[in-house]
Amino acid sequence: MSRHPSAIIAPGARVPKSCQIGPYSTIGPEVVLGEECRLISHVVLDGRTTIGARNLLYPFCSVGVAPQDLKYRGESTETILGDDNTIRECVTISRGTAKGGGVTRVGSNCLIMAYAHIGHDSQVGSHCILANAATLAGHVTIEDHVTVGAFSPIHQFCTVGAHAYIGGGTIVTQDVLPFSLTSSRRENKAFGINKIGLARKGFSPERLERLHKAFRLLLAAKMNTTQALEKIRQLEGEDVALLVSFIEKSQRGVIK
């Protein structure tokens, strides 16, 4: 492998020859790297950490470090990353806890920008963007194709639905509806569907129109959530069914 002389790779770590390990990086004894990963410099990989192929890790990021949980007593827990992720400067990704499921997971093709934090036992899907200083407390679930804006903290045990877009500086304390554009101006609100983002991802006009109708019933009609769901169920399409299922399963309530 391409390894700078100042880098430290502990005995037991599995690092393919195709990887590039930059200056002052440290890799712990239980770390497993996939092919063609690149650690630019000063990267810390610790704990039982498995990282897929072609991940790019920037200076001073820390992956698999002990959770920021006072109950943690050194239990053997994990961190798992998929393929083709970009982890920017000073990102921290904590490993799981025994009582929280034991695994912190990030999917594939994600961009985690500088100073973002992924807390213990969080589950991040694929094709997600966490902008600068986005903060996931422990046990947060981020589904696929989600964008979390800069300086947005997400409370423990919250779920952010697929294709949602969270505006910068939004404090999230309840579940975020899939497909929604949710932001904080004076208070947290869902402002309808993430129309531009969904169109860029190939959603047809028909799919967008069905989702628009569903969100109009949920957010704009003078009905409570139960009444709105009864109307929404009459609409067709997998996206609408996913939206209904998400609301029904929510434990913390959803941001409307």
* One-letter amino acid for residue 12 of the chain: G
Find out whether 194 and 181 touch, Cβ atoms under 8 Å: yes
Give me the catalytic one of 138, 161, 167, 192. Answer: 138
Active-site hit among 42, 120, 139, 145: 120
What is the H or E stretch that residue 64 is in? strand 62-65
CA distance 8 to 21: 9
Please name the residues in contact with 212: beta carbons below 8 A apart, sequence gap of 6 or more.
192, 193, 195
Say how far apart CA 228 and CA 141 lie, in whole Å.
25
* Residue at 252: amino acid letter: R
Task: In whole angstroms, give the CA distance from residue 130 to residue 240.
Answer: 25
| 120 in active site | yes
Q: How far is CA 172 from the centre of its chain?
A: 14
Residues belonging to the chain: 256
Catalytic residue among 83, 84, 121, 175: 121
User: Residues with catalytic annotation?
Assistant: 120-121, 138
